[in-house]
Amino acid sequence: MIRTLRITSIVAGLLAAGLLALFSMYGVQPDPQTVQLLSTPTVIEQFKDRPTVENRADTVSVLEELAKGLARLINPPAAAASVQPQARTGPVIMPTARPRPSAKFKLLATSYHPSDPNLSRALIELDTVDQRQVWVRIGQTIEHYTITDIKDGSIAYGSGDSVQLVQVEPRPPKVNLLAGQEPRPRQMTVSSLTNTPAVSPRPRPQLPARTVARASNPNLPTATKPQSDQDIQRAEQMVAQLQSMGPQSEDPEKQRIQQEVLEKLGAYIQAARLNNEANGLGQQQDMNLPGIPDPNLIQ
């Protein structure tokens, strides 16, 4: 046991001596990086090795450059003459004018008051499904357009700086089938009316006056001259002809005119027959009643 302990102590001493020798050998060896850093020249050596700058005539100091820049700011140099470019001889393209939007309504009639323009009115037809007709005045807004002025047969409206003028649209002429007159264009314009706006009435067939005075008895009502059977038959033939022809056009306005003519002819035929019956009854009463002398005939 004692021998083993002695051997162990000897081995431990030998190992310690070997480790000390190893550390001594590698610890004294210099580091390559440290050697490289120490071998570089110092700042003083670098300053000494820097090449000197000779004083030459073309060398400008920093202070002199700053002085010249300040002088240019105080007294700027004169501007060089600008060279005007030559005008091109190509074709000149004019900008196209953009179409101005217009309001979607029609002017049917106007009521113009020169003495007081605020009383002027205009009848317009809106471009809607029901084609509603309304009266407008100066300053009223229709479809973001403002009515600026109303004249005899025209109005002015606009939006902003743009102002447009619209005239009264002419109505289609109506034909008097009974009198055989030629169609004449008629413009629906109302001028110098009362304070209440109104539209000129539509032209109707003018029938000749056929009245005769009954001087035998002034207390009895005056009877009209009976219509001839030939006129009544001719009106009936015209009604039958128009009904057999049917609608002549798909235009609603023309169909409406044709319907009005048929209604007026029917009313004329009915009125003529009633008139003939009334005249017949009046003549029969004149024959039965005693005559009363006319005061204008008594001297």
Per-residue pLDDT reduced to its tens digit, 35-56: 888 888 888 888 888 766 555 5
Q: Which residues contact 123 (CB under 8 A, 6 or more apart)?
A: 107, 108, 109, 110, 111, 133, 134, 135, 197, 199
Q: Helices (DSSP H) in the chain: which residue ranges? A: 2-28, 32-39, 43-49, 62-74, 229-245, 252-288
Per-residue pLDDT tens over the stretch 118-166 = 889 888 888 888 788 888 898 888 878 888 889 888 888 888 778 888 8
- pLDDT of residue 209 exceeding 70, the answer is no
